[in-house]
Amino acid sequence: MQEVLVDKERCLGCRSCELACAVAHSASKTLLGAVGEAKKPLKRIFVHQTEAGKIPLNCRHCAEAPCIDACIAGAMHRTAEGVVTNTGGPAECTGCWMCVMVCPYGVIRSEIAQRLAVKCDRECLDEAGEPACVRACQTRALKYVEVDDFSREKRERFLISLKS
């Protein structure tokens, strides 16, 4: 499966990925259109400042995803492509926030009024199959790669998972 990996040395904290993500999830799909939309689009990637630098973080689509375990409605599931999402599955999200409670990356947002958990759903791929955040990254701090193709030593520079 392809994953969005982060080369944290390269992140400048410009938040372009955040904007691109929100725009990709807007009705108009354009920045200038999206800012005018009554329902503001929601980003699913978050650039954080840590002692180790600036780090963009979005769903890792974990192999044994705690959010899937926790979902009491059966909405959170893994698609055939390996994407963990709570839309388009066997059940509807009811906004119980179990997934928000267990996601160790803190990348599932709670849309309280809508009673909807919102997360990276990869519904943003362009014609080349690249996610909006990766495409938006000017410094190539975000890369969309087949994880198996990744040499070990290179992989170490990237954010892989909490457990490692």
Partner 1 sequence: MHIVIIGNSAAGLAAARTVRKVAAGAQITVISDEPGPAYARCLIPEVLAGSRDLPGIGYVGADFYRQYGIELLAGQTVTSLDVEKRELTTANGRSIGYDRLLLATGASPVAPDWPGADLPGVFTLRKADQAAAAGRWARDCASAVVAGGGLVSLKAAYALKERGLPEVTVVVKSPHVLIKQLDAQSAALVEKELAKTGIKFVYGVEPVAAVKGPQGAVQAVELADGRRLPAGLVMVGKGVRPNVELARRAGGRVDKGIVVDDNLATSLPGVYAAGDCIEVTDMLTGDKTTSGLWTLAVEQGRCAGYNLAGLPGSYPPPLTRLNAAQFGALPFISAGDVRGGDETAVYQDGGVYRKVCFRDGRLVGFIMVGKVDRAGVYTALIKQARHIAGRLKDKVAGGTVTGADIVYSRTVPVR
Partner 2 sequence: MVEKSIDQATLKMLKKAQRDGIETVWDRLAAQEPQCGFGQLGICCRNCNMGPCRIDPFGDGPSQGVCGAGADTIVARNLVRAIAAGAAAHSDHGRGIASTLLASAGGDTADYPVRDEAKLQALAAEYGIAVEGRATAEIARDLANAVLEEFGTRKGALQFINRAPEQRRAVWDKLGITPRGIDREVVESMHRTHMGVDNDPVSLILQGMRTALSDGWGGSIVATELSDVLFGTPRPVKGSSNLGVLKEDQVNIILHGHEPTLSDIIVHAARDPELLQEARARGAAGINVCGMCCTGNEILMRHGVPVAGNFLQQELAIVTGAVEAMIVDIQCVMPALPQVAGCYHTKIISTSPKAKFPGAEHIAFDEHNAMETAKKIVRIAVENYSNRRAEKVNIPADQMEYMAGFSVEAILEALGGSLNPLIDAVKSGAVKGIVGVVGCNNPKYIQDNSHLVFVRELIKNDILVVGTGCAAIACAKAGLLLPAAAEQAGDGLRGVCTGLGIPPVLHMGSCVDISRIMTVAAAMANALGVDIADLPLAGAAPEWMSEKAVSIGTYVVSSGIFTILGTVPPVLGSQNVAELLTGGAEKVVGAVFAVEENPAAAAKLAIDHIAAKRKALGL
Residues in contact with partner 1 by CB under 8 A are 8, 46, 48-53, 55, 57, 64, 66, 69-70, 72-74, 90-91, 94-110, 112-113, 115, 159, 162
Cβ neighbour number for residue 161 with a 10 Å cutoff: 11
Nearest alpha-carbon partner for 35 in 11, 50, 19, 51: 19
Please state, in angstroms and rounded to a whole number, the distance separating the CA atoms of residues 43 and 83: 17
Which partner, ligand FAD, partner 1, partner 2, none, binds residue 57 by CB below 5 to 8 Å per kind?
partner 1
Interface with ligand FAD includes 91 (CB under 6 A)?
no
Q: Which is nearer to partner 2, 57 or 70 (CB)?
A: 57
Interface with ligand FAD includes 72 (CB under 6 A)?
yes
Q: Is 21 helix (H, G, I), strand (E, B) or coil?
A: helix
Q: How far is the CB of 42 from partner 1 (least distance, A)?
A: 11
Please state, in angstroms and rounded to a whole number, the distance separating the CA atoms of residues 66 and 63: 9
Interface with partner 2 includes 19 (CB under 8 A)?
yes
Interface with partner 2 includes 22 (CB under 8 A)?
yes
Cβ neighbour number for residue 4 with a 10 Å cutoff: 25
Interface stretch with partner 2, choices 27-35, 59-67, 84-92, 140-148 (CB under 8 A): 27-35
Q: Which is nearer to partner 2, 126 or 156 (CB)?
A: 126
Please state, in angstroms and rounded to a whole number, the distance separating the CA atoms of residues 11 and 83: 24
